[in-house]
Amino acid sequence: VTLLLYAVADCDPSDVAGAGLDGARLEAVTDGRLTAVFSEHPQSAHAPTAERLWRYERVIEALMNRHAIVPMRYGSSMADRREVASMLHERHDAFAAAVERVKGKVEVSVHADYRHPPPADPAPSGREYMLGQVERHRRAATLGEHLHGLTTLVQASRMRLLKAPSAGVQAAYLVQAEHVSAFAERVSELSRTLPEVDLVCTGPWPPYTFAEEAGR
């Protein structure tokens, strides 16, 4: 038997209801005002298929729509309720801080990449490779400056360079739930000013990126 964790929520255990993966009942363990939400499964090996990941995501989103949560990554599991209680107690302050940080907020993701990257040389010289990297970082920095205009509406942001040879960036923003539409509109406005860039905005997501410190 293994317990699959979905989230640590700022809620009363009596608020936890419904089903998790495979129709397993959602259960709760509480420490103070924090509640760990999980379901019990007969085996530990759950292959992370796309369909399974989406079902897991939907369980977390349903929790997110009702409570402030620190979402867990798929595969977060524990042996029994005592282990869950111990984890929750040991990291209570970190979870409580993370819940406060994300309360009333959601994560919105922006994927920004150039429509026409420079052609990649399959066998560059050392000099060509280095100058290509200089140019890639310069273009990524330019994109980052454009995206910086979005940060006036957000509480926090993270950005990372996409895999080489792309000079694009992936950004995550922590946005007040009521500001998501305004944020998406700002992304659309920015997109219209950057015809050479593909801007894709997705969300709202559970605040995975901004709750992670508590999960370690």
Partner 1 sequence: MSQRVNADPENLEKGLAQLVLTVIELLRQLMERQAIRRIEGGTLDDEEIERLGRTFLALANRMEELKDTFGLSDEDLNLDLGPLGNLM
Residues that bind partner 1 (CB under 8 A): 5, 72-73, 75-79, 87, 124-131, 133-134, 137, 158-161, 163-164, 209, 212-213, 215
**How far apart are CB 185 and partner 1 at their closest, in Å?**
25
Min CB(178)–partner 1 separation in Å: 25
Which residues touch 8 (CB under 8 Å, ≥6 apart)? Answer: 34, 35, 36, 37, 69, 70, 72, 88, 95, 98, 99, 214
Nearest CB to partner 1, comparing residues 158 and 186: 158
Which CB atom, from 20 or from 215, has the smaller least distance to partner 1? 215
Q: Return the number of the residue (135 or 178) whose C-beta is nearest partner 1.
A: 135
Pick between residue 92 and residue 158 the one whose CB is nearest to partner 1.
158
- Do 211 and 155 meet the contact criterion of CB atoms below 8 Å apart? no
C-beta of 36: minimal distance to partner 1 in Å? 11
Could you tell me the end-to-end alpha-carbon distance of the chain, in angstroms, rounded to an integer?
Answer: 23
Separation of alpha carbons 50 and 107, rounded Å = 20
CA distances from 57 to 67, 73, 179, 187, 202 (A): 15, 9, 22, 24, 14
Least Å from the CB of residue 76 to partner 1:
4
CB of 115 to partner 1, least distance (A): 22
Longest dimension (CA), the chain: 64
In whole angstroms, what is the distance from residue 105 CA to residue 69 CA?
A: 10
Nearer to partner 1, 29 or 78 (CB): 78
Can you give the three-state secondary structure of 15-35, one letter per residue? HCCCECHHHCECEEEEECCEE
